[in-house]
Amino acid sequence: YILAWMGLEINTMAIIPLMAQQHHPRATEAATKYFLTQATAAAMILFASTTNAWITGDWNIPQTSHPAATSLLTLALALKIGLAPMHFWLPEVLQGLNLTTGLILSTWQKLAPFILIYQIAPNTNPTILTSMGILSTLIGGWGGLNQTQLRKILAYSSIAHLGWMITILHFMPALTLLNLTIYIIMTSTMFLSLKSLSATKINSLAITWPKTPILTVMTMLSLLSLGGLPPLTGFMPKWLILQELTKQNLPILATIMAMSALLSLFFYLR
C-alpha cells in the first residue's frame, strides 16, 4: 500500500508543472484544484490502508478485506479519477489546460488509480460500484449537453465512460480493461486531432472542413465512436457490457445505462 500511495503521489507531482507551465490564471487555478483533490484522495487512501492494516494486520492490496477500508479506498480512488459524485473538479481542471496536458490527464493519469480499483473490486461492496457507475453515466450524459467547449465535453465523456467501466467491474473485470483500452485509444485520437486542428470550441470545428477534410472526417468518426454508435469500435464494449448486465439479471440497470448513452450520443452528433 505504501508503495502504491507513493506512486500515486509521484504521478500527481509530475503533472502539476505541466499544468502550470502556461502562467495563465486558468492554468494556475486548474493546477491548484487538481493538486488539492489529488492530495485529499491520497490522504484518504493512506487512512483507509492504515485502517485495514490496524484491523486485519495485512498491508497487501488484494487482501483488503475490511468493509470500511474497502469502501473508503474505493471512494478515494473514485475521487482521483473523477467518478461521480466526486467528479466536480474534472471539467474545470481539463478546461484550464492545453490539449497535450489534457490528453495526459484523460488517459495516462487514469491508469494507476484504475488498476488499484481493479485489484480491490472483488472485496468491494458491489452496490457502491454500481451506484457510482450509473450516476457517472447519467451525469456524463447530462453535463455535456449545454457545453460549447470541446475540453469540457471530453471531460464529461470521460466521466460517462468511467461510469460504464465501474458498473461492470464487479461482474466481469475483463470487460472493464477492454473498455479502458478502447477509451484510451479513442480519447488519444480525439485530443491529437483537436490539437492538429487547434480547435477548442465547437464553432472552430465547423470551419475546419475546407482546410483539412480528411482530418475532420477522422475527428467526426472518433466522436461517434466515443458516443458508441454502431458499427464503430466504441459500440463494442457498450454492447458487451449491456449483454453481461442482462445475463446478470439486471435489465433495469442495462436500460438506464443505454438511455444515458443516448444522452452522450446527442452531444457527440451535434
Q: How high is the pLDDT of residue 118?
A: 94
pLDDT at 45: 94
| 48 — pLDDT class (breaks 50, 70, 90) | very high
Confidence band for 62, pLDDT divided at 50, 70 and 90: confident
Q: Looking at the DSSP assignment, which residues form a beta bridge with residue 149?
A: 201
Residue 64 has pLDDT above 90, yes or no: no
| Structure confidence at residue 57 (pLDDT) | 87
61 pLDDT band, cuts 50/70/90, is confident
Q: Residue 143, CB half-sphere, CA atoms under 13 Å: how many?
A: 25
pLDDT at 206: 82
Determine the pLDDT at residue 15: 95
What integer is the mean pLDDT of 24-38? Answer: 95
d(CA 242, CA 79): 25
Note the helical H segments in the chain: 2-20, 25-56, 67-81, 89-95, 99-106, 108-120, 126-143, 150-169, 173-197, 202-206, 213-227, 235-247, 251-269
Local confidence band at 267 (pLDDT 50, 70, 90 cut-offs): confident
pLDDT by residue (tens digit) across 200-241? 898 888 888 888 999 999 999 998 999 888 889 999 999 999
Cα–Cα distance, 259 to 141 (Å, whole number): 9
Dihedral pair phi/psi, residue 201, rounded to 5°: -125, 160
CA distance 18 to 60: 33
Kindly give, in sequence order, each residue whose CB lies less than 8 Å from that of residue 36, ignoring residues fewer than 6 positions away. Answer: none
Which of 113, 76, 79 lies closest to 93, judged by CA?
A: 79
